[in-house]
Chains A and B, each alone.
Chain A
């Protein structure tokens, strides 16, 4: 089947989509967007988190056909400018790099989208709010402490930028 959608601001048409396939599969295997990761395909790990019409969702649990006419933003869509030219990382991405919140990096795209959403909704999140927001994102490497640091750093950077 054919699916029409907007991904990271661009209108796209994808052909030969299998009716039972997930949005995650379509993004990774048919659209050249491997940022969202496939680690469980059952909603447990959050590595595949994307925005669907502005709301974070596990893309492995959305049927590709369900995004017809809708808007998806993946981790690839958060930075401004184009890769290798004038790319400007989102403050959340920068904070993850600086805080050392990335080891193998497999969980990172999902955590970045989920943290991005948290800070949009709650500009100055408490530790309890951060833990609650990230409860559906598993990381097997970092022990989470540096991820919490990164979210706190990103929130304060965004607040500074907004105050300027």
Chain B
């Protein structure tokens, strides 16, 4: 086995181009389990820890320009956050909880403190497990994934197009994930997850909601209830029209019921060791109604993540 330690992003892309079967390792919380148990023996490990910019984030001035980006990349607007692939969950919770409350809540449920100190969204995206906890809030928040290769430059992939199948994502063999982009929350965001205990739990199923008041739109993400994380698009459309964005009046019980039903219909879960398909569907409709209630109560009180909304 080789151990590659590029120290710059350009060198990392060059290394991945030269050796596409080298396995990137960031926090190692997925990769090392596989190696320790001999489930996977990659010809090389490509250590991303030395590349400091992957562990930083900033408020992006303007979208990155892409070479050969066809069709044109999706709208990434000035003022969005660009968060390096390797920023660990602990820092997302401590430093970005106000800007990205949904992702911070999801991050808080990942593994244990030690896992959150090392594990990253880049690694969650790389692993592309349908149960990965960062995926529902990324979907609900319209995140865009920035990937890059030495040969073709940057590609901006919307989260909705990033997950292709169970543990399969849209990365080409010579590409690495540089960052994900998402707007700081303009409305309430919530994440909810079903598991057998409060720590160290892979989601039985999970759900994220984000209100986008300026667009009068609701975003959703459904986790661990289909081959890939996915949005509940019909539920989003129904609710976006149903809610009284200007008057901020309470929604009707039947609207909440219908929203729960539509979220449930968006899922195509299986029976497995963690839960049955029926249970997952039921739990999703309950989580959808609950998170909607929390989010809409916040919106009515003009709050985001417990603060006054601006």
Residues of A within 8 A of B (CB): 1, 18-20, 22, 41-44, 46, 49, 55-58, 60-63, 65-66, 68, 114, 132-133, 135-137
Interface of B, secondary structure class, is mixed
Q: Can you list 14 A-B pairs, Cβ within 8 angstroms, ordered by A?
A: A19-B3, A22-B35, A41-B36, A43-B32, A43-B33, A43-B112, A61-B29, A62-B118, A63-B47, A66-B25, A66-B28, A132-B113, A136-B115, A136-B199
Residues of B within 8 A of A (CB): 1-3, 5, 25, 27-29, 31-33, 35-37, 41, 44-45, 47, 49, 90, 111-115, 117-118, 198-200
Task: Choose among B45, B113, B114, B118 the residue with the greatest number of A CB atoms under 10 Å from its CB.
Answer: B114
Residue of A with least CB distance to B27 = A61
Given A22-B36, A61-B32, A63-B25: A1 touches B111 (CB 8 Å cut-off): no
**B5, A65: Cβ atoms closer than 8 Å:** yes
Residue of B with least CB distance to A135 = B199
CB distance from B141 to the nearest CB of A (A): 25
Given A61-B28, A114-B114: A135 touches B1 (CB 8 Å cut-off): no
**B1, A20: Cβ atoms closer than 8 Å:** yes
Q: Which residue of B44, B117, B199 is within 8 Å of A56 (Cβ)? A: B117
Chain B residues within an 8 Å CB radius of A61: 27-29, 32-33, 115, 118
CB distance from A5 to the nearest CB of B (A): 13
Residue of B with least CB distance to A1 = B3
Q: Which residue of A20, A44, A136 is within 8 Å of B35 (Cβ)? A: A20
Chain A residues within an 8 Å CB radius of B37: 41-42
**B3, A42: Cβ atoms closer than 8 Å:** no
Task: Choose among B5, B28, B47, B111 the residue with the greatest number of A CB atoms under 10 Å from its CB.
Answer: B28
CB distance from B105 to the nearest CB of A (A): 14
Task: Choose among A42, A60, A135 the residue with the greatest number of B CB atoms under 10 Å from its CB.
Answer: A135
**A56, B114: Cβ atoms closer than 8 Å:** yes
CB distance from B195 to the nearest CB of A (A): 12
